[in-house]
Structure 1
Amino acid sequence: MSFDTLGLLPELLRAVREQGYETPTPIQAQAIPVVLQGRDLMGGAQTGTGKTAAFTLPMLQRLAPQASTSTSPAKHPIRALVLTPTRELAMQVEESIRTYGKHIPLRSTTIFGGVNINPQIAALRKGVEILVATPGRLLDHHQQGTLRFDQLEILVLDEADRMLDMGFIRDIKKILALLPAKRQSLLFSATFSGEIRELAASLLKDPASVDVAPRNSTTELVKQVVHPVDRERKRALLAHLIQTKNLEQVLVFTRTKHGANRLAEQLDKDGISALAIHGNKSQPQRIKALSDFKQGNIRVLVATDIAARGLDIDQLPHVVNYELPQVPEDYVHRIGRTGRAGSEGEALSLVCVDEHKLLKGIERLLKNPLPSEVVAGFAPDPAIKAEPIENGRSGGGQRPGGGRPSGRQGSNPRSSSARPARPEGRRGSAPSSSRRGV
């Protein structure tokens, strides 16, 4: 199958070819015809499957007939809204819209927190047909009267599962109440919990369903290895692996923002260039860290789960779980960063005695044990007893017994009582221009 068979406009096919693409991915082949028909869609797809183009291309085509070259803002009302959980994903989606829509006179812009709101207001006043936004900042704009949705035709909810994980469900419901009832709605999610299905039922009308990311599946192209190690020797083992295996472009996951900062600083002291990326970093800091990583200026990017979700890094060769996630499904999301587009990848997990229960949970989810290899000189001491991972304690060598509190408590982080008081990007009590820093 080629893109020519999907019924796309010549302007869109030209833009696709200019990017060097000839054959659609499975999600694109299934979703594009459905969206072109005007149907609502429930799509199961992880980042790296071509999901963004799967909704961007048909969305551009449906909006194209009314595209205008006029400079009048009235000729450019908001006709499509794409909601994303993070600022990074918002920027990447809008970049795709510009790339594929370069031969069609449609305007687009992004709005997200953590940056000055005034340039966003100025862009909206000039008129845009396609708005890509994070939920909190969109509501900020609505409160200031800078948005109108009376001509909205298409809504896309991207990475809905992560939106719910980040505590955006109330914001999403508020936003839905602002939109016209008559519209086309598309929902994409890597997993489908009961909460996601409930949201989909309230959002979608007689939707088509496509699923190219079976829940909890892991790519066969990713080599997964567990390296047992004592909690106090994790950093030394990570540095050893990077240096002896001469690893480049390594994405390392920690459970907490503090842990990400500390590890990046320690790796730098070890002579391994590293930067941290998480919700407490300013937007310019996050953009620079990602740019330096992609360009090879730094070897290691240390990230939290929420910050890393939506990062689009081509041919990422190595992912390291410096600390196992407390939610097994997040392991699948993490290692899904590598092994994309036919490229082989490697996912290493540094596991201390504190994390054995987390590892068993991941293996139950995968329905397979993960291969384990002890690195010479780093065999764990059997006399060291497991300590509970509480309040975001990392077990990663930050201090005896683990890391510092992050606000996460309990053994079930999916429950409402176990949520952090202010997770990354979740609404808090700071001023409106920055309180929703996604």
Structure 2
Amino acid sequence: MAFEQLKLIPPILRALAKENYTKPTPIQEQAIPSVLEGRDLFGCAQTGTGKTAAFLLPIIQLLSKQQEQTSGKHVIRSLILTPTRELAIQISDNFKSYGRFLNLRSGVIVGGVSQKAQEQALEQGMDLLIATPGRLIDLMNQGFADLRHVQILVLDEADRMLDMGFIHDMRRIIAKLPVKRQTLFFSATMPLEITSLVDSLLTNPVKIEITPVSSTAERIKQTLYFVDKPNKLWLLIDLLQEKSIESALVFTRTKHGADRLVRGLTKAQITAQAIHGDKSQNSRQAALKNFKQGVTRILVATDIAARGIDIEELSHVINYNLPNIPETYVHRIGRTGRAGLSGIAISFCEYEEIPYLKDIEKLIKLKIPVTEDHPYPMTINESTPNAVSVIKTSVTSSEHGVTPGQGDNSTRSDSTGRKGTSEGSSRRWRRRS
């Protein structure tokens, strides 16, 4: 099927040609006609499926047809709620690209920057507002945001907004919208809270499910390393000696852990930057730009900040910490292997994370292949999986300018349960040719 068959107007088709879009993805093929008909829609789709265009293209068309009737100062005609600044900016960029041949105005409302320009944009009115819930609530409370004219609401990455605690903000925002509206709801996963929210917000929706959450992209090669906490940094440094890893997106569980890991990699002369919620918007955008342009080799991110990071031809994703929510694993590794390309997902698993691993493998219905031949195998423990070659190992010395455990700021437990560095022989960091 071609985009022309979806009854998109010529200005949008011209924009798609400029973007080198040749044929719609499955979710675009199914969603666009329904949205153009004015139907409510629930889409369950993972990252990389083309869902942003699936809702933006028909919204642009609908807005362009009714522009003269509803435009004006303070008027917001459509609203997209999204969990992170990065995702909001990405959606805004896509809107401008797809609507480049139409006279439509958009605005972005996010935290981390001065709100003055946002106040002025809201006063002028806009066809599409893309916002994170927290900042939008702030501006609503101050009387700057008027949502009474919104015709189309999009909740994007709804599961992540729930994970981030935005559920109350979402409900407060929705309460200010007209009851009669079109609602489009997108989520990568389907927990019970999402099902309940869909039932309460949507009216007779079209339901589309693309790539079940339990599946992972077939083109992604997955591998697992069992490793003690203090040795994670050393193992990562060792792996990054491989020239085939030109760049990698590395996930940590916490913001502080991301910063510590960047310091450790930097001391090992590996260029790295962190992107997380405590960074300013300018800092986050600069880090992302440097990574995309190849200035920075490693981008270390938390799950919250990683939503909205869209990097073409990303070959490697590394789980420095396994996520405690199995669906998050699927979302993380989906950052690679996009647009028909192959990808590699590497995961580290420490003793405390073994329950997370079991949940992940249960969800994806796959045993992740274990790489046993590496310098830092997991310490002997009664509960260590049989797949691991249990070798008591220790990394001492700071010959490379980094302290063992620096990337995780934690101690290890040896086979006797004692914390600290075991007294066995030290293993040197080896440099691979």
Q: TM-score range by the shorter chain?
A: 0.7 to 0.9
Give SS of 2:76's match: coil
What's the counterpart of residue 28 of structure 2?
Answer: 28
Q: How far does the alpha carbon of each residue in 1:348-378 deviate from its partner, in whole angstroms, 9 at most, with x for none?
A: 0112222222211211111221100124322
Shift of the alpha carbon at 1:245? 4.2
Q: How far does the alpha carbon of each residue in 1:8-34 deviate from its partner, in whole angstroms, 9 at most, with x for none?
A: 000000000000011001110000000
Shift of the alpha carbon at 1:248? 1.6
Distance, in Å, in 2 between the alignment partners of 1:335 and 1:49 is: 14
What's the counterpart of residue 398 of structure 1?
Answer: 409
Distance, in Å, in 2 between the alignment partners of 1:283 and 1:75 is: 28
Q: 1:62 to 1:356 in 2, by over 3 A?
A: same
Shift of the alpha carbon at 1:104? 1.0
Q: How far does the alpha carbon of each residue in 1:401-426 deviate from its partner, in whole angstroms, 9 at most, with x for none?
A: 49xxxxxxxxxxxxxxxxxxxxxxxx
Shift of the alpha carbon at 1:77? 2.2
8 Å Cα contact 2:43-2:185 kept in structure 1? yes
Give SS of 2:314's match: coil
8 Å Cα contact 2:260-2:406 kept in structure 1? no
Give SS of 1:104's match: coil
Q: How far does the alpha carbon of each residue in 1:45-93 deviate from its partner, in whole angstroms, 9 at most, with x for none?
A: 122111110000000101112335x9x9726721100000011100011
Give SS of 1:110's match: strand
1:125 to 112, 119, 123: 123
Q: How far does the alpha carbon of each residue in 1:297-347 deviate from its partner, in whole angstroms, 9 at most, with x for none?
A: 011011111111221111211000111111111111111111111000000
What's the counterpart of residue 82 of structure 2?
Answer: 84
Distance, in Å, in 1 between the alignment partners of 2:408 and 2:90 is: 34
Distance, in Å, in 1 between the alignment partners of 2:406 and 2:212 is: 31
Shift of the alpha carbon at 1:395? 10
Kindly provide the amino acid, as one letter, of the partner of residue 355 in structure 2: K
Q: 1:128 to 1:229 in 2, by over 3 A?
A: same
Distance, in Å, in 2 between the alignment partners of 1:245 and 1:231 is: 25
Distance, in Å, in 1 between the alignment partners of 2:44 and 2:125 is: 32
8 Å Cα contact 1:254-1:321 kept in structure 2? yes
Indicate the larger mover: 147-156 or 264-273: 147-156
Indicate the larger mover: 370-379 or 4-13: 370-379
Kindly provide the amino acid, as one letter, of the partner of residue 7 in structure 2: G
What's the counterpart of residue 375 of structure 2?
Answer: 377
Q: 1:23 to 1:99 in 2, by over 3 A?
A: same
2:360 to 359, 362, 369: 362
Kindly provide the amino acid, as one letter, of the partner of residue 7 in structure 1: K
What's the counterpart of residue 426 of structure 1?
Answer: none
Indicate the larger mover: 344-353 or 35-44: 344-353
Q: Hey, which bits of structure 1, 4+ residues long, moved more than 4 A?
A: 383-386, 394-397
**Aligned ranges for residues 281-300 of structure 1 at < 5 Å?**
281-300=279-298
What's the counterpart of residue 109 of structure 1?
Answer: 107
Shift of the alpha carbon at 1:180? 0.2
Indicate the larger mover: 300-309 or 142-151: 142-151
8 Å Cα contact 1:46-1:213 kept in structure 2? yes
Distance, in Å, in 1 between the alignment partners of 2:381 and 2:32 is: 57
Shift of the alpha carbon at 1:397? 4.3
Distance, in Å, in 1 between the alignment partners of 2:114 and 2:359 is: 42
Indicate the larger mover: 308-317 or 377-386: 377-386
Count of residue pairs brought into register by the alignment = 393
What's the counterpart of residue 55 of structure 1?
Answer: 55
Distance, in Å, in 2 between the alignment partners of 1:357 and 1:154 is: 42
Name structure 1 gaps, 5 residues minimum.
387-393, 403-438
Give SS of 2:153's match: strand
Give SS of 2:249's match: strand
8 Å Cα contact 2:251-2:302 kept in structure 1? yes
Give SS of 1:262's match: helix
8 Å Cα contact 2:260-2:408 kept in structure 1? no
8 Å Cα contact 1:251-1:319 kept in structure 2? yes
2:312 to 304, 311, 314: 314
Distance, in Å, in 2 between the alignment partners of 1:192 and 1:241 is: 35
Work out whether 1:64 is the aligned partner of 2:55.
Answer: no
**Aligned ranges for residues 125-204 of structure 1 at < 5 Å?**
125-204=123-202
Indicate the larger mover: 44-53 or 159-168: 44-53
Kindly provide the amino acid, as one letter, of the partner of residue 303 in structure 1: A
**Aligned ranges for residues 251-330 of structure 1 at < 5 Å?**
251-330=249-328
Q: How far does the alpha carbon of each residue in 1:104-123 deviate from its partner, in whole angstroms, 9 at most, with x for none?
A: 11100100111111110111
Kindly provide the amino acid, as one letter, of the partner of residue 95 in structure 2: I
What's the counterpart of residue 9 of structure 1?
Answer: 9
Kindly provide the amino acid, as one letter, of the partner of residue 80 in structure 1: S
Distance, in Å, in 2 between the alignment partners of 1:354 and 1:396 is: 16
What's the counterpart of residue 411 of structure 1?
Answer: none
Q: 1:40 to 1:19 in 2, by over 3 A?
A: same
Kindly provide the amino acid, as one letter, of the partner of residue 63 in structure 2: L
Shift of the alpha carbon at 1:244? 2.6
Tell me the percent identity.
52
What's the counterpart of residue 19 of structure 2?
Answer: 19
8 Å Cα contact 2:264-2:407 kept in structure 1? no
What's the counterpart of residue 43 of structure 1?
Answer: 43
Kindly provide the amino acid, as one letter, of the partner of residue 298 in structure 1: T
Distance, in Å, in 2 between the alignment partners of 1:370 and 1:106 is: 47
Give SS of 1:255's match: coil
Distance, in Å, in 2 between the alignment partners of 1:100 and 1:2 is: 16
Q: How far does the alpha carbon of each residue in 1:177-219 deviate from its partner, in whole angstroms, 9 at most, with x for none?
A: 1000010000000111111011111111110011113122211
Give SS of 1:109's match: strand
Distance, in Å, in 2 between the alignment partners of 1:238 and 1:49 is: 30
Q: TM-score, normalized by length of structure 1?
A: 0.86
Q: 1:59 to 1:176 in 2, by over 3 A?
A: same
8 Å Cα contact 1:354-1:395 kept in structure 2? no
Distance, in Å, in 2 between the alignment partners of 1:253 and 1:375 is: 23
